[in-house]
Structure 1
Amino acid sequence: MNSKKPILCLSSFSPIRFLFYVIVIFLIIFSINSASCDGGNETDYQALLKIKSMITQPPYGALSSWNNSLHLCEWSGVTCGKRHRRVTSLALDSLGLEGFLSPHVGNLSFLRELSLPNNNFQGVIPSELGRLSRLRFLYLNENKLNGAIPGNISSCSKLEELDLSENRLVGGIPKEISFLSKLIFVSLEDNNLTGGITPFLGNITSMEEFSAVGNSLGGSIPDTLGHWKNLKTFYCSHCKLYGTIPHSLYNLSLLTEISLADNQLTGSLPTAIGTMLPNLVLVQLWGNQLTGPLPPSISNCSRLLGLELLENNFSGKLTIDFAKLRDISFLSLGSNTFGSKEADAMKFIDTLKNCTKLEILDLGYCAFKGLLPRSIGNLSNQLQHLHLGENQLHGNLPISIDNLVGLTSLHVGGNQLTGNIPSTIGKLQKLQVVFLYKNQLSGTIPDAIGNLSSLITLDLFSNMLEGVIPSSMGNCHRLLELYLNDNKLNGRIPTRLLQLSSLSKVLNLSQNNLFGSLPTEVGYLNKLTTLDLSYNNISGNIPSSLGDCVGLSKLSLKANLFQGEVPTLGVFANESAFSVLGNSKLCGGFVDFVLPKCNEIKKHKKKFPLFVIVILIAFTFLAIMCLAYAWCKKSRRQLSQSLMTDRFLKVSYNQLLKATNGFSEANLIGNGGFSSIYKGILDEDNGRFVAVKVLHLQNQGAQRSFMRECEAWRNIRHRNLLRIITSCSSIDFQGNDFKALVYEFMSKGSLHDWLHSSEGTSRLSLLQIANILIDVASALDYIHNHCLPTVVHGDLKPRNILLDDDMVAHVGDFGLARFLGTTSYQNSSTGIRGTIGYAAPEYGLGNEMTSSGDVYSFGILILEVMTKKNPSDDIFNEGFSLHKFASMALPDHVTDIIDVNILNIYQEDENTMQNAMKINECLASTVKIGVSCSMDSPQQRMDIKTVVRELQHIRNTLQNI
């Protein structure tokens, strides 16, 4: 029977019943899987709805698909896996979403990518992101997220890319990030992170790209980052980093881009940098304190596109062979001390001719000397920005400059260039900015300037240009500012120039020899902010159309020949906004101007018959001829008259006696070895306050001092030099010789008064001090480097620094001045050489006066301003000097010697207290400049151009506090 059982089972088998069992089993399995899947979908579904609920203002249509009519995997921005139908990617880029990121995002457990950049999410980054163990890409950049970076993000162990840039995150970079062993990309740019770069980051050996630009991290760059052997880009600019660049970074041979700009890094670049980092494409190290020469091995970086090293302390001769850097696009080396005295110091320019992709060449504010290479005309026609300004280059601007057809900015100002402005400059149709100021360019302004239809700024200030202003400038319809001041231009102001409605910033034609009337078309300049026509020979009425220039905030017509009524509309309604001093035939205006009433002038006018007028003219002519003969005979013993041109007033002893109330003691404002200085009111100059310097001719050397000063003022003029109004060489009422110089009155007194006056209670802030020192240094730079012949002041000290209403400093008293390279009496080797304490030590050994001696005096002046100690104070004796007093405090004890008034100003200001480190750095830097300038050895003293640049850097820092 047992053998029959299988037969019985087989015989009982039914296909229909078997199929039924199979279907049931399949349905059971499917229902189990479906239940499992639906459960997961439900979790994701609920999480997405929570995320949507915390988005307060989704733009119309942005999340309209997120509803029950569609499966969640079809919602916009949602991607699901094919197998489990779970959400693997949530990408809602650039939708303008506002609100908060829901913690329920942590429930999307299958998520591999979370991408929400360029929205307006705010609040903290939810720590629940740490649950997303499958997450590989996290992009939360360009939002408004705040708070700290959650440390448990380290639980996202598969994370490869992390972008949290452009938010408002605070705190430090959590060291837990170092556990993310697969991380290859990190961007933390533009947040408020602090606490430095944690050395633990060096554990992420997979790192290829790292950026923390724009955070106040502080601290140094850890040496452990040298473990990032796969690193290609490293961006940590604007992070307040200090210390040296660790040598381990130079071993990262795959590195292509390094940006550490605008930090406080020190040290020098390794000699073999180009061999160690041959793949470099971009190097940004500008705005640091790096020193030493630029290694020639950079020539090996053949892929280099950009080299930005400006605003450091690099020095020496440039020996890089740029011909090997054929792809370089921008080369910025300005604001360093590159340069040498060797004849081929500028030869490196020749090697740039093969750099056909060069767009930016910035070599400005360095110490380059020598002939301006003609090879600049062979540079790339792709060149857009050429900056060689503020160096010591001489020679002509080459005609071949017309090859640079791509040029938009040309800056060669502040050099010693001579010759004409080549007319070929007119072929540079793309030029927008041209700086040729403070050179020795001569000849006329070429008509071809009018071809520069894209021109925005043209600055030809302080040259020796002559001839007329070309009317073709009227073709420059985009011109915003024009500086032609301090030249030898003559002729009339072109009407077409005044019809340029684009001129909205500055039109400065001052200190020339322009004549004729001011055209009424000046009223077209209704957007212009500043108009300066002072110190010319412009005559006629002030056109009433000037009142239409509603944008004017500063107008200067002083020292011209204007006559007639002063308008009362527009800029003329604001006394502080304009000046008409030195125009003796003006009348009217507001009462405060103290000008005569026009109707009173007209009332006293009488008409005379024609024959009477003819007789009067003839008699006047005869009288003038007689006076001229007598004056010429007398002028041989009155050298000072030679310095006065027609633009200066002529005054007599009697007029000065009246102006100073009889040289009264009450008007006495200063005394010196050769002179006394009185305050006065000069009626002949519209009642202007003046300072009258009366020479003590009975004192030996006073006559020579007067002659020196006259000669100096005949040759020099600068905004930071005391402006002379006139001189007087006559006899007094007792028949004695009388000599005097009349200067513009400086209402704020001398720098010495501010430092040491027991009566004054005012205090100078560090920013005011920086501005004053820059003014003085600029004046020295002018007389040392931009005058022919070179002028040495010889007696620089606080008493000779005068301050005007705006606290602008002016250097005065050239009674001991010397003119280098001449054989005149000024260079006599005998006589007084400055003031004890300020005079350079080599003068005591009988050495000739030099510009380096002025730098020494300026250094002592800086230290006196900062410490409020006079170099002749009793404590400075037996070899101990103000220089040693200051140098001993560097670098860590500077605040111990700073004048307490300077420190108190900042202690009273909460905002500046928060910037104590910056302030201390500025204090130390200023003292360091003073010490560097006052070295005993002339060769060790800082160059005055460098001084100006360093002080400007200090001022810029202070202005940002």
Structure 2
Amino acid sequence: MDSKQPIIRLSFPSLFSLYHFQFYSFVIFMTFTIISASYAGNETDHHALQMIKLITQDPYGALTSWNNSLHFCDWAGVTCGKRHRRVTRLVLESQGLKGMLSPYVGNLSFLHELRLVNNSFQGIIPHELGRLSRLRILRLVKNKFNGLIPANISGCSNLQDLRLSYNELVGTIPIEISFLSKLAIVSLRSNSLTGGIPSCLGNITSMKAFYVAENPFGGSIPETIGNWKYLNDLILYACNLSGIIPHSLYNLSLLTSFSVSDNQLSGSLPPAIMFSHIELFQLTNNQLTGPFPPSISNCTRLSILEIIGNKFSGKLTTDFSKLSDILYIRLGDNLFGSKEADEMKFIDSLKNCTRLIELDIGQCEFQGVLPTSIGNLSSQLQYLALGINHFHGDIPRSIGNLVGLLLMILGANQFTGNIPSTLGKLQKLESLDLSENGLSGTIPDSIGNLSKLFHLSLGSNNLEGQIPSSLGELHRLLELFLNENNLTGKIPSHIFQLSSLSKTLDLSDNYLFGSLPTEVGDLKMLGALDLSYNNLSGNITSSLGGCASLSSLYLNSNNFQGTIPPTLSSLKGLIELDVSQNNLSGKVPQFLEGISLEYLNLSYNDFEGEVPSVKVFANISAFSVLGNSRLCGGIVELGLPKCKETNKHKMKFPLFVIVIMIASIFVMITCLAYAWCKKKRKNQLSQSSTSKRFMKVTYGQLLKATAGFSEANLIGNGGFSSVYKGTLHEDEEIIVAVKVLHLQNRGAQKSFLRECEAWRNIRHRNLLRIITSCSSVDFQGNDFKALVYEFMSNGSLDYWLHSSDIISRPTLNLLQIVNILTDVAYALDYLHNHCMPTVVHGDLKPSNILLDDDMMAHVGDFGLAKILGTSYPNSSTGIGGTIGYVAPEYGLGCEMTSSADVYSFGILLLEAITGKKPIDSMFNEGLSLHKFASMALPDHVTDVIDRNTLNVYQGMSGYNTEANAKKIEECLVSIVKIGVSCSMDSPAQRMDMGKVVHELRPILDTLQHIEV
């Protein structure tokens, strides 16, 4: 060693410092490397989200926050992981988004969950989704995606939940899906997929739910589905499937829902069905045969059993006593029946089914006597269908115990004896069908107790005696069938006072006599009237022209005489008219050429003169004039003689002049007499003219009735008045609502006069009934004016929709809402189209809709009403009505018209169905209740429905099948369309209230049938 070479000695601290420096340099280098990589990853996600927004239409502003003022992890619908700040969830449900789904979604490589449910995305599902290996949940339900399901979705190796239902997808289920070993839920329902269900899907042993209903797959159910040992739900209805149900499926012990309805499946069921967890079992509308296995009794969790529309046969031996949780038993339209004496013994075992809502065993081959144990069924039972069987003997009186029933069908059997009077106990009954039996005796008066009936069918029996007057109490009746019986006597006028009759009144094939009551003209909403094959006589009353909605009128095979009244020319919607086999005479009315008739029968009368040759008279297969020997002319096919030419001008001019002179003198005398009477009447006290119609009350009586107009009795306040609850003591106690005018407020006096004038001209079941008025002075000598109305126990619609007392306020269901809206529509249709003169309400809103004991709606408060065609009353208070409900044309100074009421009704309808007031704080910057509802049509209506207010789904007891759910959604779309149409800015674009009624009726019918 060179002694001159310097020796470097490092102490321990120096050595440590060197290593310390190197270590931290490495750490810093790696940190920057990681940060750079992370930043690059964030930029990728940021750019991908920007590209998604770029081609997405956003009408509701759901992506407003997607801008540079926020980090993308804080954007609406975006969730990032805490560690790497990468996008892990993208959830944009029910936001009204439109356009294509950007393929850049495939760059969100950390994505675990993608949910775009209930929007309007269209185009193909981007195959770039196959890059998302971390994806666990993919839900694209309720959009407009089309094309194929991308096969490379198999690249999403961690996918557990795949839902693509309610789109427009075509092609087949890719077999590559079978590679997704973690897949537990597959939902593809309501697309247009074909090519069968691939058997290779049986390889996915993790499957728990498989929903592929409403696709035209074809083929059979794969045997390999039996490999899904953890399967809970198998929904395959309406898939065009054929063949047998594989026996391997019956080994799926965890199955809770099994539906293969609406296919072409055949074969029989095995004797042993061991679905110990099954709750929903649907085989409806297939071609299954053989006996129904009694082992179904061991499925103790079963709540819905549906096997309607098959060919199951033999004796029904099911012991229902073990099925204590069952809600719906639907066995109808099969071949059940054994001709054994005890074949109806299974009815006894239903006693333990205390939650049963529906029992349908109609359209089978059951026979024998209906056991009295039918009366032991659940008090919750709402639907009982036993029609189209071979039951005979009496209808058990015990059936009156089923007080929860809404619908009962016993028609098309062989029941005999009397109609049991115990049916009068079924106070909730809405539809009763006892037709096509051999029932005899009279119609019991107790039927009149069924005040909620909308359908009553007693036709095709042997009933006798007169039509009972108690039927006049059925104020909700839409259709009444008493045809093909032995009823006698005159037609009671109270039948024609059922203004609710809007579908059919059929009294044909009886022995009724006398004239046709003029009250028939009160049935302004009736669609079909059949009085044929009776012994009615006299002239056809001209009041029939008041039945403005008639489409079918059958008066044939009676003894009517005289001419066809010209008032029938007002029946513009008439399609079928049959007056054959009577004693009618005169010429064939020319107005028949102006009606769009599709069927006309004038045969076997004594008509004379020329037969027209246009419209219905030009189609030999559409009309008949046989048996009228004095007719001539018409189309060649009739073979009638030519009409003789006559001197048409002979003596006509002088006669014409004479008639004109006589008519002019008569009109002049009538006008003078009317003017003198009117002047005399104006000089009399206003109450004397109505003393016969209204009771008289004094200020003192009203003061006493309301306990001194106490605060405790105050039930409402308005700009011109306060309303109090009171009790008048006349012959009996009458609970009333007393509307006291605030005469110190400007316009109150005119409001009182306006309302009095309106009430003098109108009467309708859906208008609030006025009892009397009082115009007097109080005990201090001040003017006092009040109106006294029938008290409405269920308050106003505004209370039901918006009361702050949510705890005590019950909830309206969808059926109740539509019932109320239909009642209001009937009232407005009457005011606008059937009341002379026409009345415009002027202030329609929820607080002016009152509800009685039966939740029937009554329109009240005519303080701003206008009687068209008169100068009285006029408003001097500016724009009438309430903000939010006032038609926009009022702001332009336009006159009050019925179209403005239609606008208010449209807003009222949308408010009822959405639960949002038109002045809600959300309606600003150009958004209104009308636009809010309009933008939801047609695919997003359920997004604007206030389910808490309306209880849309839970309130519908029939909401238990996919078919009914779809019907309800269709009803909701139709309802919102009506509201949007009525609330258009332009009056010319709004519906007429007659059309509104026409549109609401089928919606109401659909909901009523679902509800029951």
Regarding TM over 0.5, the answer is: yes
Residues 527, 552 of structure 2: 8 Å contact kept: yes
Q: Distance in 1 between matches of 2:168 and 2:85?
A: 35
Structure 2 counterpart of 1:38: 39
Structure 2 counterpart of 1:303: 301
1:233-252 to 2 correspondences below 5 Å: 233-252=233-252
User: Aligned to 1:353, what secondary structure does the other structure show?
Assistant: helix
Q: Distance in 2 between matches of 1:179 and 1:288?
A: 33
Q: Distance in 2 between matches of 1:126 and 1:147?
A: 10
Show CA shifts across 1:347-398 (max 9, x none).
Answer: 1111101100111111011000100111111101111111110000012122
Structure 2 counterpart of 1:455: 453
Amino acid aligned to 1:10: P
Residues 546, 570 of structure 1: 8 Å contact kept: no
1:11-410 to 2 correspondences below 5 Å: 27-56=28-57, 58-273=58-273, 276-410=274-408
Q: Distance in 2 between matches of 1:454 and 1:684?
A: 50
User: Aligned to 1:558, what secondary structure does the other structure show?
Assistant: coil
Residues 78, 89 of structure 1: 8 Å contact kept: yes
Show CA shifts across 1:536-560 (max 9, x none).
Answer: 1222221212112121111011111
Q: Distance in 2 between matches of 1:43 and 1:418?
A: 81
CA offset at residue 499 of structure 1? 1.9
**Using a 3 Å threshold, how does the CA distance of structure 1 residues 34 and 353 change in structure 2: closer, same or farther?**
same
Residues 582, 685 of structure 1: 8 Å contact kept: no
Structure 2 counterpart of 1:873: none
Q: Distance in 2 between matches of 1:108 and 1:476?
A: 65
**Using a 3 Å threshold, how does the CA distance of structure 1 residues 534 and 576 change in structure 2: closer, same or farther?**
same
Structure 1 counterpart of 2:480: 482
Structure 1 counterpart of 2:526: 528
CA offset at residue 13 of structure 1? 8.5
**Using a 3 Å threshold, how does the CA distance of structure 1 residues 573 and 581 change in structure 2: closer, same or farther?**
farther
Q: Distance in 1 between matches of 2:19 and 2:136?
A: 48
5+ unaligned residues in a row in structure 2: which ranges? Answer: 594-602, 607-623, 635-1012
CA offset at residue 6 of structure 1? 5.1
User: Aligned to 1:566, what secondary structure does the other structure show?
Assistant: coil
Show CA shifts across 1:791-847 (max 9, x none).
Answer: xxxxxxxxxxxxxxxxxxxxxxxxxxxxxxxxxxxxxxxxxxxxxxxxxxxxxxxxx
Residues 564, 584 of structure 2: 8 Å contact kept: no
Q: Distance in 2 between matches of 1:12 and 1:240?
A: 83
Amino acid aligned to 1:111: L
1:800-815 to 2 correspondences below 5 Å: none
**Using a 3 Å threshold, how does the CA distance of structure 1 residues 30 and 649 change in structure 2: closer, same or farther?**
closer
Residues 402, 428 of structure 1: 8 Å contact kept: yes
**Using a 3 Å threshold, how does the CA distance of structure 1 residues 570 and 397 change in structure 2: closer, same or farther?**
farther
Q: Distance in 2 between matches of 1:295 and 1:685?
A: 70
**Using a 3 Å threshold, how does the CA distance of structure 1 residues 21 and 535 change in structure 2: closer, same or farther?**
same
CA offset at residue 489 of structure 1? 1.1
Residues 146, 169 of structure 2: 8 Å contact kept: yes
CA offset at residue 531 of structure 1? 0.4
CA offset at residue 23 of structure 1? 7.3
Q: Distance in 1 between matches of 2:489 and 2:522?
A: 21
Show CA shifts across 1:702-758 (max 9, x none).
Answer: xxxxxxxxxxxxxxxxxxxxxxxxxxxxxxxxxxxxxxxxxxxxxxxxxxxxxxxxx
1:751-762 to 2 correspondences below 5 Å: none
Amino acid aligned to 1:170: V
Structure 2 counterpart of 1:446: 444
Match for 1:497 among 481, 485, 495? Answer: 495
Structure 2 counterpart of 1:10: 13
Q: Distance in 1 between matches of 2:432 and 2:164?
A: 42
Residues 237, 260 of structure 1: 8 Å contact kept: yes
Q: Distance in 1 between matches of 2:570 and 2:369?
A: 46
CA offset at residue 59 of structure 1? 3.1
**Using a 3 Å threshold, how does the CA distance of structure 1 residues 9 and 588 change in structure 2: closer, same or farther?**
same
Residues 395, 417 of structure 1: 8 Å contact kept: yes
1:596-615 to 2 correspondences below 5 Å: none
Q: Distance in 2 between matches of 1:13 and 1:204?
A: 59
**Using a 3 Å threshold, how does the CA distance of structure 1 residues 438 and 13 change in structure 2: closer, same or farther?**
closer
CA offset at residue 257 of structure 1? 1.3
**Using a 3 Å threshold, how does the CA distance of structure 1 residues 3 and 194 change in structure 2: closer, same or farther?**
same
**Using a 3 Å threshold, how does the CA distance of structure 1 residues 572 and 167 change in structure 2: closer, same or farther?**
closer
CA offset at residue 570 of structure 1? 3.6
Structure 1 counterpart of 2:583: 584
Q: Percent identity?
A: 58
**Using a 3 Å threshold, how does the CA distance of structure 1 residues 529 and 650 change in structure 2: closer, same or farther?**
closer
The number of residue pairs the alignment matches comes to 603
Residues 604, 628 of structure 2: 8 Å contact kept: no
CA offset at residue 224 of structure 1? 1.2
Q: Distance in 1 between matches of 2:605 and 2:574?
A: 27
Residues 584, 605 of structure 2: 8 Å contact kept: no
Residues 445, 466 of structure 1: 8 Å contact kept: yes
**Using a 3 Å threshold, how does the CA distance of structure 1 residues 11 and 4 change in structure 2: closer, same or farther?**
farther
Structure 2 counterpart of 1:817: none
Q: Distance in 2 between matches of 1:27 and 1:361?
A: 77
Residues 584, 686 of structure 1: 8 Å contact kept: no
User: Aligned to 1:269, what secondary structure does the other structure show?
Assistant: coil
Residues 569, 592 of structure 2: 8 Å contact kept: no
Residues 553, 571 of structure 1: 8 Å contact kept: no
**Using a 3 Å threshold, how does the CA distance of structure 1 residues 34 and 394 change in structure 2: closer, same or farther?**
same
TM-score (norm 1): 0.60
**Using a 3 Å threshold, how does the CA distance of structure 1 residues 680 and 428 change in structure 2: closer, same or farther?**
closer
1:659-698 to 2 correspondences below 5 Å: 682-683=627-628
User: Aligned to 2:214, what secondary structure does the other structure show?
Assistant: coil
Q: Distance in 1 between matches of 2:416 and 2:516?
A: 31
Show CA shifts across 1:164-198 (max 9, x none).
Answer: 00000000111111001110100110000010111
Structure 2 counterpart of 1:709: none
Structure 2 counterpart of 1:436: 434
**Using a 3 Å threshold, how does the CA distance of structure 1 residues 439 and 101 change in structure 2: closer, same or farther?**
same
Residues 481, 504 of structure 1: 8 Å contact kept: yes
**Using a 3 Å threshold, how does the CA distance of structure 1 residues 85 and 650 change in structure 2: closer, same or farther?**
closer
Residues 548, 571 of structure 2: 8 Å contact kept: no
Amino acid aligned to 1:583: N
1:530-929 to 2 correspondences below 5 Å: 530-568=528-566, 569-570=568-569, 577-590=576-589, 682-683=627-628
Structure 1 counterpart of 2:1006: none
Residues 581, 685 of structure 1: 8 Å contact kept: no
Q: Distance in 2 between matches of 1:255 and 1:472?
A: 52
**Deviates further, 104-113 or 496-505:** 496-505
CA offset at residue 575 of structure 1? 8.8
Amino acid aligned to 1:400: S
Q: Distance in 2 between matches of 1:685 and 1:132?
A: 88
TM-score (norm 2): 0.57
CA offset at residue 495 of structure 1? 2.0
Amino acid aligned to 1:43: T
Show CA shifts across 1:755-806 (max 9, x none).
Answer: xxxxxxxxxxxxxxxxxxxxxxxxxxxxxxxxxxxxxxxxxxxxxxxxxxxx
User: Aligned to 1:154, what secondary structure does the other structure show?
Assistant: helix
**Using a 3 Å threshold, how does the CA distance of structure 1 residues 25 and 498 change in structure 2: closer, same or farther?**
same
Aligned Cα root-mean-square deviation (Å): 2.8
CA offset at residue 86 of structure 1? 0.4
Q: Distance in 1 between matches of 2:227 and 2:518?
A: 73
CA offset at residue 10 of structure 1? 3.3
Q: Distance in 2 between matches of 1:680 and 1:357?
A: 59
Q: Distance in 1 between matches of 2:506 and 2:54?
A: 62
CA offset at residue 582 of structure 1? 1.8
Residues 313, 337 of structure 1: 8 Å contact kept: yes
5+ unaligned residues in a row in structure 1: which ranges? Answer: 595-647, 652-678, 689-961
